[in-house]
Chain A
Amino acid sequence: MLNIEAVNFHYGETHEQCLHDVSLHVKAGECVLLCGESGCGKTTVTRLVNGLIPHFYEGEFSGKVVVSGLDVTKTMPDVLAGTVGSVFQNPRSQFFSLDTTGEIAFGCENLGLSPAEIRERVKKTSAELGIERLLDRDIFALSGGEKQLIAIAAAYALSPEVFVFDEPSSNLDWNAVGELAHLMLRLKQAGRTLIVAEHRLYWLAGPIDRVVYLRGGRIAGDWQAAAFLALPERERAELGLRALNPEALRPSASMVVWEQAPMQEQAPTQGRTAPNLRVSDLSAWYKRGEPVLRGISFEARPGESVAILGGNGAGKTTLARTLCGLNRKAVGKITLNGSKLSPKARAGPFYLVMQESGYQLFTDSVENELLLSKNRRSRPTSEKVGEILESLSLTDFRERHPMSLSGGQRQRTAIGTAMAHEAEVLIFDEPTSGLDYQNMRRVVAVIEQLRAEGKAVFIITHDYELLLAACTRALVLEDGRLKADFPLTKDSIGRIKEIFSWTQASSK
């Protein structure tokens, strides 16, 4: 079905070789996982398959790629569109229409199918994928997960034999990932060939037949699924891969923090036992109508790291935005170090590290970013900036433009700005979405450092691996109410597993 023969490639603007002598043969109906650390070339391989290389991304290319009998380099992308369907990482930037039905029809309209045929295909697609409920909806009002389902449907409507997915789960919560997994199984049962590049692996354990591992642009491993799933945890971590089977993640596995588990059981450390943050009876609204948060109360101590858990619409984001003073439609009391703070006064002591930290950088260099402050008095000294950069391993990038950094480096720069301005409460929104194992470990290290400095850390996450490695407590939100608030210990881990409930999600 797919033959990649001795492909070498590097992108036009760089001189670094991106793929070295890559050869890959995939049989019809096979589901192949492409994995490896960030920058290993797995996304580039997906672009070979859907023809974006060489038709869209230019560069130096040698070798041969044949999909379903078509030579990709000699076939126009619109002909390939009917053979290879593509689903991308970012659900926000792969839509053309404003409504879902129009989006599913978009490809068919481009290829000039008759109106009756297009209507038939839209109907068939939505029925076969079980997404009728999403038809005729405003795309901008859909959740990330629903957008990904529409992206798959839009590709499916052209009835391609091969699907390529480029990190499709990056921006999704675990419920949405469950639905995505379910849909992948359906595609596989329908005999389609699936090529998936991914960091998060656990959800693919069901559909995959084969795993191809890339390192530095070369294929460095090729396993049958069963053999790959049987790899010991240690070896998996050495390959720089995320967990395959979260159920099997033992707290002791490679988790440094958990090897010192008693520390967490005895949390709070260093004698700083008094809570410095108190939230009492907080209710908040988003636009008009029903409150999104209802009467939430909790406390946090310096050095604590609290996971905020809950499904879609539970109020996690609203809680974060209200704490930071971004959402002002709220009643209740928030005190920090004994003084009640208005929403405006909270911007500063409270800081939100956004999922896309690229938004949070405003200047032309990493150093200036840390120096940028609302007034002269609050400007940090340059020694302090130096220390912070050192602690975040950003010293070498001091003069670099933030936009030229990798995602992980940008995220650390954003954290650095909060440290430079002495924020006391840091809230992370999905800090590890789309990160590989190395980068996830880095986030964990930064969080540990913030805790050691006595910051209170909150983490909105759907990443079980991160949770095990970095959190000491969990707040569980449901329907805007605080459903549970408990310390994370070896005994309470069962409750967390219940919340994540992969088994339910993947067997749905």
Chain B
Amino acid sequence: MSLDPRVKLLILVLINVVVFASPDLATEWLCMGVIAALLAWMGCWRQLVYGLLFYAGMMGALYLCGLTDNFLTAFMSMMIICFRKVIPTVFFASGLIATTKVGDLVSAMQSLRIPKVIVIPFTVTLRFFPTAKEEFAAIRDAARLRGLRFSMERTLVPMMMRCANIAEELSAASVTRGIESTRKRTSMRELRLGASDLGVAVVFSALTVFAVMGGLPLLMGGVPLLHA
């Protein structure tokens, strides 16, 4: 199943609210569960399995830290909790990236009236990841050919040079394709919100409201089920 990219962006924002508003662990688990169900529905099985395993690993580490009580374990628990808070967002984002074309994402941003000065650099940045990866691999190969060990200076300097070159060529190419046009940019794909988009948006909005109002403890008469 595919969702409208605008709905995906909305969910991404809502998940952040849910996670940071969650009063206890159980609500966070509920959130993870809903995301997992959504990923399964979108067919992102790989992201689903890796995400859940990673989350379980974090919980395990937290449990181990809780067994002893000293400064080091307390510090580590704190670090893990901070880190764990980001997992639900990354969990869903992995599914978002796997199921969304860049062009669609750009159209979504345009239809949300996000200005061109943000949308165009955003596209170029996305476009640059695979390029940077290729450039990096080539430079690593060149260093290996000469038996040189990895060093920041030897990698980053040629990388910057190459990327600056590519950026200039890319800009020249885009100018000849009318990127500076003052006319309103359009999109090949017209975005339409369907019933499933609406359904998913409602589920996540409800979850957000629920978490902000107090989460699962609300149902249990104010008793937190598990401390975060």
B169's contact among A50, A88, A359, by CB below 8 Å, is which? A88
B226 at the interface (CB under 8 A from A): no
B90 at the interface (CB under 8 A from A): no
Q: Please name the residue on chain B nearest to A151 by beta carbon.
A: B173
Which residues from chain B contact A88 at a C-beta distance below 8 Å?
169, 172-173
B189 at the interface (CB under 8 A from A): yes
Stretch at the interface among B9-17, B32-40, B45-53, B155-163: B155-163
Interface pair A93/B178, CB less than 8 Å apart: no
B118 at the interface (CB under 8 A from A): no
User: Contact string, B170-201, partner A, CB cutoff 8 A, digits 1/0?
Assistant: 11111111111111111111100000000000
B2 at the interface (CB under 8 A from A): no
A109's contact among B130, B131, B157, B187, by CB below 8 Å, is which? B187
B176's contact among A84, A102, A140, A358, by CB below 8 Å, is which? A84
Q: Please name the residue on chain A nearest to B176 by beta carbon.
A: A86
Could you pull out 8 A-B pairs where Cβ atoms are within 8 angstroms? A86-B173, A86-B176, A95-B173, A96-B173, A98-B130, A108-B186, A109-B188, A325-B144
CB distance from A344 to the nearest CB of B (A): 9
Which residues from chain A contact B175 at a C-beta distance below 8 Å?
51-52, 55-56, 77
A324 at the interface (CB under 8 A from B): yes
Interface pair B187/A374, CB less than 8 Å apart: no
Which residues from chain B contact A115 at a C-beta distance below 8 Å?
186-190
**When chains A and B are docked, how far (Å) is the Cα of A39 from the Cα of B183?**
37
B178's contact among A95, A110, A360, by CB below 8 Å, is which? A110
CB distance from B145 to the nearest CB of A (A): 6
**When chains A and B are docked, how far (Å) is the Cα of A109 from the Cα of B104?**
12
Interface pair A102/B145, CB less than 8 Å apart: no
Interface pair A92/B178, CB less than 8 Å apart: no
Q: Which residue of B144, B146, B158 has the most chain A CB atoms within 10 A of its CB atom?
A: B146
Which residues from chain B contact A96 at a C-beta distance below 8 Å?
123-124, 127, 170, 173-174, 177, 179
Stretch at the interface among A3-11, A235-243, A348-356, A469-477: A348-356
Interface size of A by CB at 8 A reads 66
B81 at the interface (CB under 8 A from A): no
**When chains A and B are docked, how far (Å) is the Cα of A315 from the Cα of B135?**
21
**Using a CB-CB cutoff of 8 Å, which residues 77-91 of chain A contact chain B?**
77-78, 80-82, 84-86, 88, 90
**When chains A and B are docked, how far (Å) is the Cα of A354 from the Cα of B142?**
8
Which residues from chain A contact B177 at a C-beta distance below 8 Å?
81, 86, 96, 106-107, 110, 154-155, 158
CB distance from B51 to the nearest CB of A (A): 23
**When chains A and B are docked, how far (Å) is the Cα of A198 from the Cα of B176?**
20
Interface pair A417/B158, CB less than 8 Å apart: no
B59 at the interface (CB under 8 A from A): no
Interface pair B154/A362, CB less than 8 Å apart: yes
Interface pair B147/A109, CB less than 8 Å apart: no
A398 at the interface (CB under 8 A from B): no
Interface pair B178/A324, CB less than 8 Å apart: no
Q: Which residue of A55, A326, A360 has the most chain B CB atoms within 10 A of its CB atom?
A: A360
**When chains A and B are docked, how far (Å) is the Cα of A290 from the Cα of B179?**
42
B149 at the interface (CB under 8 A from A): yes
CB distance from B177 to the nearest CB of A (A): 4
Given contact pairs A95-B127, A112-B185, A351-B145, A359 touches B138 in the complex (Cβ within 8 A): yes
B143 at the interface (CB under 8 A from A): yes
A99 at the interface (CB under 8 A from B): yes
In the complex, which range does the number of interface residues on chain B fall in?
35 or more
Q: Please name the residue on chain A nearest to B169 by beta carbon.
A: A93
Q: Please name the residue on chain B nearest to A112 by beta carbon.
A: B183
Interface pair B185/A102, CB less than 8 Å apart: no
Interface pair A359/B162, CB less than 8 Å apart: yes
Which residues from chain B contact A95 at a C-beta distance below 8 Å?
127, 170, 173
Q: Which 3 A-B pairs have the closest CB atoms?
A: A81-B178, A78-B181, A112-B183
Q: Which residue of B177, B187, B190 has the most chain A CB atoms within 10 A of its CB atom?
A: B177
**When chains A and B are docked, how far (Å) is the Cα of A351 from the Cα of B131?**
25
Which residues from chain A contact B138 at a C-beta distance below 8 Å?
354, 356, 359
Interface pair A111/B188, CB less than 8 Å apart: no
Interface pair A94/B169, CB less than 8 Å apart: yes
B98 at the interface (CB under 8 A from A): no
Interface pair A98/B102, CB less than 8 Å apart: yes
Interface pair B103/A99, CB less than 8 Å apart: yes
Which residues from chain B contact A82 at a C-beta distance below 8 Å?
178
Interface pair B102/A97, CB less than 8 Å apart: yes
Which residues from chain A contact B202 at a C-beta distance below 8 Å?
none
A118 at the interface (CB under 8 A from B): yes
Which residues from chain B contact A102 at a C-beta distance below 8 Å?
101-103, 188
**When chains A and B are docked, how far (Å) is the Cα of A42 from the Cα of B227?**
71
User: Contact string, A136-158, partner B, CB cutoff 8 A, digits 1/0?
Assistant: 00001000000000000011001
Which residues from chain B contact A321 at a C-beta distance below 8 Å?
141
Q: Please name the residue on chain A nearest to B131 by beta carbon.
A: A92
CB distance from A340 to the nearest CB of B (A): 19
Given contact pairs A107-B178, A115-B186, A417 touches B101 in the complex (Cβ within 8 A): no
**When chains A and B are docked, how far (Å) is the Cα of A389 from the Cα of B145?**
21
Interface pair B162/A358, CB less than 8 Å apart: yes
Given contact pairs A110-B181, A154-B177, A374 touches B148 in the complex (Cβ within 8 A): yes
Given contact pairs A78-B178, A115-B189, A348 touches B146 in the complex (Cβ within 8 A): yes
Q: Which residue of A84, A110, A113, A354 has the most chain B CB atoms within 10 A of its CB atom?
A: A110
CB distance from B226 to the nearest CB of A (A): 42
A140's contact among B130, B144, B162, by CB below 8 Å, is which? B130
Give 16 new A-B contacts, CB below 8 A, not counting A88-B173, A351-B145.
A55-B175, A57-B172, A77-B176, A105-B103, A107-B178, A110-B181, A326-B141, A347-B145, A347-B146, A354-B141, A358-B158, A359-B139, A359-B162, A372-B148, A417-B146, A421-B146
A76 at the interface (CB under 8 A from B): yes
B126 at the interface (CB under 8 A from A): yes
Q: Please name the residue on chain B nearest to A138 by beta carbon.
A: B130
**Using a CB-CB cutoff of 8 Å, which residues 255-284 of chain A contact chain B?**
none
**When chains A and B are docked, how far (Å) is the Cα of A324 from the Cα of B173?**
35
Q: Which residue of B148, B166, B175 has the most chain A CB atoms within 10 A of its CB atom?
A: B175
